[in-house]
Amino acid sequence: MSRIAAIGIDAGSTTCKLVAVDDGGAIVSSLLEPTEPRVELQVRHMLDTLRAELGTNGDIPTVATGYGRKLIKEASRNVTEITCHAKGVFRDLKQAGTLVDIGGQDSKVIQVGRDGRPVDFMMNDKCAAGTGRFLEYTAARLGVPVQELGDRALGASGEEPISSTCTVFAESEIISLIARGADPDAILRGLHRSLVGRVVSMVRSVGITPPVMLSGGVAKNEAVRRMIADATAEDVILPRDPQLMGAYGAALLGANA
C-alpha cells in the first residue's frame, strides 16, 4: 500500500466524509457517513476506523473543512469549503472553470483558476431553497426516496411550476398541488427546475467560464445536471466522486500535493 501523506475531513451538514491520499495526491481510502449531532465525536470514531484500516497513527497531517470544521480537534488546521472543493475538483478533472457545489445546507458557485485556486465565488447559506435540503424536504412530503428524485423528475410527462422562493412556502404549494390531483412526478420536475433556477442565477452573477463542473451530493442527481446544462447551454461535467471533493481537497492541502 502507498504511504499515507494526509487525511482530509469534510464535516458537512448532511454527510461526513474522510479521504486519505498518498504522496502523489491519489485517493487511497475514504469513508462517508450521515452526519450525527455530535460531529466531533463521529469524526473521532471515523478517524480511528480509517487509521486502523490503513495501519497508520495520529502523526499524519489532517485538515478539516465543512460546516463543522472548527469542532474537529484532531485536525491540524481547518480550511473553507470553497478552497477545498476548488482544489479537489481541479485535481480530479484537471480543469479550470465554473464549479457549482450544491450541499445540504448551502450552495456555492466558484470560479476555479488555472492553478486550482478560487478566483471568485458566490454563496447561498441563508435559504434552503437552493440546496439539497430543499429536495429532501419535498421528497419527504411526496413520499419519494431521495435517490429516486432525479429519475422521477426526468421521467415526468409534464411539469408543475413552483414559484415560491422559500422552502416553507414551496411546501404549501406542493400541498395545494397534491390536493388538486397534480402528478407527483410533475411536481418533482418543477421542484428541480426551481432549485436549478436559483443556482443558475448565482452562476450568471459570478460569470460562466466553461466547463461547468458539479460537486456535492446533489451532483449525483441527473435531473439537476441536465437542467443546469440546458439553462447554461454549457457542458456539465462531474468528478469521479462528487461528494468526496471537499475532503479530497483538504487532504491534498495537508499533503501539499
Question: Average pLDDT for residues 142-162, to the nearest whole number?
Answer: 93
Strand residues in 76-202 grouped as ranges (E): 77-78, 97-102, 107-112, 118-124
3-state secondary structure of 23: coil
3-state secondary structure of 169: helix
- pTM, two decimal places: 0.93
What's the confidence (pLDDT) of residue 61? 95
CB 162 within 8 A of CB 174: yes
What's the confidence (pLDDT) of residue 64? 98
pLDDT per residue as tens digits for the range 209-247: 999 999 998 999 999 999 999 999 999 999 999 999 999
Identify the H or E element spanning 203. Answer: helix 184-206
Of the listed ranges 111-120, 152-161, 170-179, 237-246, the least confidently predicted one is 170-179
Question: Average pLDDT for residues 194-219, to the nearest whole number?
Answer: 93
Residue type, 24: G
pLDDT value at 162 more than 90: no
pLDDT per residue as tens digits for the range 34-67: 999 999 999 999 999 999 999 987 789 999 999 9
What's the confidence (pLDDT) of residue 169? 72
